[in-house]
Amino acid sequence: MLSRRNRSAIAPTVLGTLAVLCVPPALGAQEPPPDSAPPLAAAPDSGEAVTLSGLVAFELERSRRCVGTLARLDTLNRRLQPLGLRAERLRRISEAVAIEDRAFVDSLDVADELEKAVRDWFVADGRLAQSYAETRNEEIQRQRAVGREQVKTRLQQAMQAVQDEARSLMEADPELPTDASACDGALFIRPAVLEVCATQESPICGPARSDQPDQQYRFVESPQDLWDVQELRPWTRPGPLQLAPDGSLTGARTTAFSRRGNVVFAVTFGPFIRPRSALSEEQLQDLTTLVDSLGLAFDHPDLLVAPSIAVQATLPQPLAGETVYVLHFGTPDDADIVWSGPAGTGENVEATVVLEPRHVARLMNGELLRLTAVRSGEGEGANEAVFSLELTTVNQASAVRALLGYMASQLNDDLKRLIPPGGGG
């Protein structure tokens, strides 16, 4: 049941003064919100619960669809399992060859053509090593090097063949990764799952028929029960900026997580880092002015840095007829809006917003952030807040203050070290 507080209106004065600096479209964020939004009328004071009709239909369909999806995923995993074992075996053999671990020889399977070839190489190389120790003949060392490269090439070819076969299996069902993501970690509606299990088998069917709790799959008895399942995780402790193995920047961020049913809502606070060349002169001026007003100093000649928030929510479809999602401080009837974006896009909510000084201050002071769903209506004041998702404030103030301190004292130097000016990084 949604409280009356969550059903109240968002203040018209706040919605009428939206002024949010959003990440440019090149970053993959949503389009910036309009300069103003329609005012909202208060929800009817009838005491009736808001009906999440969209949630009911969406979650029933998810549970039914995931029966078949999980069966496809299980089939693929069973086909991939021997390939995974083979890849791991080849990795261990390759490591043994690289360090010339002769103690590994006895574990090689001579019934396997490749492993027999590796064993033969170990034996032959051992003899050559002994001969070199006795004669110091450099030709023997050359023979050893050639033999090692030959066996390494065979191992690499075998690994590539395994990878190619695995890729071929996965490409045979290209929609599976997307379909499976909707089922991963989801709460399922037992009657809907059992309905499909009556005509097909899937790994989820046995647990759904059982009265015993299952560690892999979790069930509720009706769609309405989903909304009563809530989880909050505190703001994470931020670390310094680092380079990830793929060359991207990571670290220097703190994230809070909230879950209600199968709706996951997360917010990440950290530095917005963007090549200056990707921004217009107007954007550069606005962002530089904003950063200066926060008392931060970043002088990297190639990159612009500013405090930002990234918001994510698994809301591809409206749950209660909402048309807009709003990220804000305060209650829905007294909201200070950080970001707004359309509902019902078919994609999960994902956007990044450069923060204004007042929002940085409220975040630093540990004020609660909410994502509110707004349903538009006809006529003035007809828009209504239908439900809200909340984050926790646990660790918020300390994590944000620590990250702002790092941004003020160390981030500038770390950024220059990781991406040297003029380096084209």
**369, two tokens:** 């952030």
The region of weakest confidence among 13-17, 112-116, 154-158 is 13-17
The amino acid present at 296, given as its one-letter code, is L
Would 19 be classed as within a structural domain?
yes
For residues 45 and 81, membership in a common domain is answered with: no
Q: Is the Cβ–Cβ distance between 93 and 109 less than 8 Å?
A: no
For residues 307 and 337, membership in a common domain is answered with: yes
Residue 378: band (very low, low, confident or very high) from pLDDT cuts 50, 70, 90? low
Averaged pLDDT, 260-288: 90
Would 323 be classed as within a structural domain?
yes
Report the distance separating Cα 54 and Cα 346, nearest Å.
13
Residue 28 confidence (pLDDT) above 70? no
Neighbours of 174 (CB within 10 A): 8
Residue 59: band (very low, low, confident or very high) from pLDDT cuts 50, 70, 90? very high
Report the distance separating Cα 16 and Cα 354, nearest Å.
19
Report the distance separating Cα 39 and Cα 16, nearest Å.
7
Q: What is the model's pLDDT at position 380?
A: 58
For residues 283 and 253, membership in a common domain is answered with: yes
Would 119 be classed as within a structural domain?
yes
Backbone angles phi, psi at 257, to 5 degrees: -130, 140
Residue 425: band (very low, low, confident or very high) from pLDDT cuts 50, 70, 90? low
For residues 12 and 111, membership in a common domain is answered with: no
For residues 358 and 414, membership in a common domain is answered with: yes
For residues 43 and 76, membership in a common domain is answered with: no
For residues 256 and 319, membership in a common domain is answered with: yes
Report the number of distinct structural domains present in the chain: 2
The amino acid present at 21, given as its one-letter code, is L
Residue 341: band (very low, low, confident or very high) from pLDDT cuts 50, 70, 90? very high
Residue 288: band (very low, low, confident or very high) from pLDDT cuts 50, 70, 90? confident
Quote the pTM value: 0.73
Report the distance separating Cα 23 and Cα 274, nearest Å.
9
For residues 79 and 26, membership in a common domain is answered with: no
Residue 424 CB contacts under 8 Å (≥ 6 apart), including other chains: none
Q: Give the pLDDT confidence of 72-110 residue by residue, as tens digits.
A: 999 999 999 999 999 999 999 999 999 989 889 999 999
Q: Which domain holds residue 105?
A: 72-171
Residue 226 confidence (pLDDT) above 80? yes
DSSP line for 356-421: PHHHHHHHHTTPPEEEEEEE--SSTT-BEEEEEEE---TTHHHHHHHHHHHHHHTHHHHHHHHS-T
Q: Is the Cβ–Cβ distance between 349 and 313 less than 8 Å?
A: yes
User: Residue 110 carries which DSSP code?
Assistant: T
